[in-house]
């Protein structure tokens, strides 16, 4: 496969290169693409240096697949240009996720809906991916009617500049701020921009993307997304109300059997998931699993995952793997 990684110098792009390498994705030629600022710089892949190229050069080389993580406006402008030359685009931005003709894919849940017609495929938001991976099988069994979500999101979700802000603040050095306030020793109930309804765009992504992936347009979902001074790994408190009642033993059994989920839940031994040990791993970790006694058929869970991996790069690479394995790419 001739593979373009668009945004190869960014936080997610760098993890994409690492994940492609680790999973031995069949890359015969790598095109490392970034903004004009980075043309001529090098990135590493499989212990080799690759010179960063611009969009026009990459499109001219008609890659088989382009994995994008270069921001929404870049995807909006360039994904169709790649698609036009026959490239299948897997896009990590929010640009195409809610487009009615574009599929929003978490491989464990809905990769089977992909066909060769899908030339721009959307990768969901990081907070959404980890939640639906944990929730999907439970939902299939008990029919989730309502979700109340609170997120504790790492600064890596905002990109390199946000990690720099936290690092400067920790070292008491001057530097540019990407958040409206200090993030070190603080938490901001503000991820992405505010919308007219008083929610943030990140909160509404959880609502709309979850409904689209699970095919549940009427599911009641409300979210509060909070940025915390953590460098890698998003955490979420999720309260679910199901239509059907459940036994806790069955909930544990289902979660233990859910593809992509690792249960870490032993309060007696202080075992629960934390962003700290999710870093660099692909699993979605679930713990603090307990019945919500304040409402019928309700459950609390604590869900943690590395937002740069399963929340972004790994999910995108898994989509690409599915396309290759099922010969959905034109050249596969
Ligand atoms: P660059 O490093 O040249 O700015 P992050 O979210 O970690 O900041 O990363 C964003 C990624 O998207 C970087 O690789 C960045 O490249 C890339 N990028 C931003 N704007 C464009 C653009 N207009 N065309 C191509 N790549 C872009």
Cα 160 to ligand 1 centroid, rounded to whole Å: 10
So what's the pLDDT on residue 330?
61
For the question of residue 112 being annotated catalytic, the response is no
Q: What's the CA angle centered on 78, arms 65 and 38, to 5 degrees?
A: 85
Pairwise CA distance, residues 81 & 87, whole Å: 9
Closest of 218, 219, 235 to residue 227, by C-alpha:
235
Do 169 and 295 lie in one domain? The reply is yes
Do 272 and 317 lie in one domain? The reply is no
Contact of 316 with 16, CB cutoff 8 Å: yes
Domain enclosing residue 116, as ranges: 2-124+312-325
Pairwise CA distance, residues 48 & 299, whole Å: 48
Active-site entry in 99, 112, 126, 190: 126
Do 297 and 186 lie in one domain? The reply is yes
Q: Which residue has the tokens 């990690």?
A: 163
For the question of residue 191 being annotated catalytic, the response is no
Do 317 and 285 lie in one domain? The reply is no
Active-site entry in 191, 234, 252, 277: 234
Residue 332 resides in a domain: no
β-pair partners for 271? 266
Do 88 and 6 lie in one domain? The reply is yes
Label residue 165 left, alpha or beta by phi (over 0 means left) and psi (-120 to 50 means alpha). Answer: alpha
Q: Is the CB of 37 under 6 A from ligand 1?
A: yes
Closest of 264, 271, 258 to residue 285, by C-alpha:
264
Do 145 and 262 lie in one domain? The reply is yes
Nearest residue CA, atom 12 of ligand 1? 70
Pairwise CA distance, residues 280 & 198, whole Å: 34
Cα 37 to ligand 1 centroid, rounded to whole Å: 9
Cα 137 to ligand 1 centroid, rounded to whole Å: 36
Do 157 and 211 lie in one domain? The reply is yes
How does pLDDT run along the chain (332 residues), one tens digit per residue? 999 999 999 999 999 999 999 999 999 999 999 999 999 999 999 999 999 999 999 999 999 999 999 999 999 999 999 999 999 999 999 999 999 999 999 999 999 999 999 999 999 999 999 999 999 999 999 999 999 999 999 999 999 999 999 999 999 999 999 999 999 999 999 999 999 999 999 999 999 999 999 999 999 999 999 999 999 999 999 999 999 999 999 999 999 999 999 999 999 999 999 999 999 999 999 999 999 999 999 999 999 999 999 999 999 999 999 999 999 986 54
Counting from 1 in the atom list of ligand 1, the atom nearest the Cα of 12 is 7
Do 245 and 154 lie in one domain? The reply is yes
Counting from 1 in the atom list of ligand 1, the atom nearest the Cα of 54 is 25
Do 74 and 95 lie in one domain? The reply is yes
- Structural domain total, the chain: 2
Test site for ligand 1: of 57, 70, 158, 160, most ligand atoms within 8 A of the Cβ: 70
Do 296 and 160 lie in one domain? The reply is yes
Closest of 109, 69, 98 to residue 322, by C-alpha:
109
Cα 34 to ligand 1 centroid, rounded to whole Å: 5
Cα 194 to ligand 1 centroid, rounded to whole Å: 23
Nearest residue CA, atom 20 of ligand 1? 35
Where are the strands (E) in 191-283, listed by range?
A: 220-227, 234-242, 261-263
Return the SS3 of 148.
Answer: strand
Do 255 and 152 lie in one domain? The reply is yes
Q: Is the CB of 54 under 6 A from ligand 1?
A: no
Do 56 and 137 lie in one domain? The reply is no
Counting from 1 in the atom list of ligand 1, the atom nearest the Cα of 77 is 23
């Amino acid at each position: 496969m001739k593979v373009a990684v668009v945004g190869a110098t960014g936080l997610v792009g760098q993890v994409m290169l690492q994940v492609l390498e680790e999973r031995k994705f069949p890359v015969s030629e790598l095109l490392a693409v970034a903004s004009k600022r980075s043309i001529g710089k090098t990135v590493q892949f499989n212990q080799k240096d690759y010179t960063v190229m611009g969009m026009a050069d990459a499109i001219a080389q008609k890659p088989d697949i382009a994995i994008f993580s270069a921001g929404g406006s870049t995807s909006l402008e360039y994904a169709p240009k790649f698609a036009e030359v026959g490239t299948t685009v897997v896009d990590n931005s929010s640009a195409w996720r809610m487009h009615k003709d574009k599929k929003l894919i978490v491989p464990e849940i809905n990769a089977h809906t992909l066909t060769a017609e899908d030339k721009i495929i959307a990768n969901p938001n990081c907070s959404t991916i980890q939640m639906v991976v944990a929730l999907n099988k439970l939902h299939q069994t008990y029919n989730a009617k309502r979700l109340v979500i609170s997120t504790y999101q790492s600064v890596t979700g905002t990109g390199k500049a946000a990690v720099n802000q936290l690092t400067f603040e920790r070292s008491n050095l001057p530097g540019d701020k990407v958040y409206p306030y200090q993030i070190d020793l603080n938490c901001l109930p503000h991820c992405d921009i505010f919308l007219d309804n008083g929610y943030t765009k990140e909160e509404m992504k959880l609502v709309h993307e979850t409904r689209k992936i699970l095919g549940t347009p009427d599911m009641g979902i409300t979210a509060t997304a909070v940025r915390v001074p953590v460098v890698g790994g998003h955490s979420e408190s999720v309260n679910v109300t199901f239509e059907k009642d459940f036994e806790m033993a069955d909930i544990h059994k289902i979660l233990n059997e859910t593809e992509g989920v690792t249960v870490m839940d032993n309060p007696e031994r202080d075992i629960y998931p934390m962003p700290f040990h999710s870093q660099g791993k692909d699993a979605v970790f679930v713990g603090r699993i307990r019945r919500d006694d304040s409402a019928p058929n309700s459950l609390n869970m604590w869900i943690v995952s590395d937002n740069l991996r399963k929340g972004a790069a790994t999910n995108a690479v898994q989509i690409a793997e599915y396309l290759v394995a099922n010969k959905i790419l034109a050249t596969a």
